[in-house]
Amino acid sequence: MLFIIATVSGSTDVAEDLLSHFVDIGNKECFPPLLYVCFGLLRPDVVQELSLQHGHSNVYPPYDIQVSRTTRKQLAALEKEVKERSKRSPPERSKKLRFRLSTLPLI
C-alpha cells in the first residue's frame, strides 16, 4: 500500500523517505520492489548511498544498469531533437525576423 502512495504522490521526497524508512527498520524485502515501483522518482545517488551503507549491494547493480540505460535513451532522444531543430531553425528564424521588420513603422 505504501508503494502505491509513494508512486501516486509523484514526489521524490516521499519515495526517498519511504526508502529510508525501510532501510532504517531493516526491512530488506521492501527495498528492491520500491526501487522498481518508484524508479522515476528516486535519485540514483540517494539509492546508491543507501544501498552501500546498509548492505543492499546485491540490489544496486541491476538498478544502476537500468538508470544508465534510461539515461542513454533520454540523451539519444534529446540529441535527435536538437539535430531536428537545428535543421529547421534557421529558415524559421529568418521568416520571423522578416515579419518583425515588416511590422515596424516606417519613419
pLDDT for the residue 84: 87
Full DSSP string of 15-57: HHHHHHHHHHTT-TTSHHHHHHHTTTTS-HHHHHHHHHHTT-T
pLDDT at 92: 55
Q: Report the SS3 class of residue 13.
A: helix
pLDDT for 9 equals 86
Residue 97: per-residue pLDDT: 53
- 10-residue stretch averages of pLDDT, the chain, 107 residues long: 80 92 89 90 93 87 92 92 80 56 51
- pLDDT of 6 reads 83
**Prediction pTM value:** 0.69
CA distance 63 to 43: 11
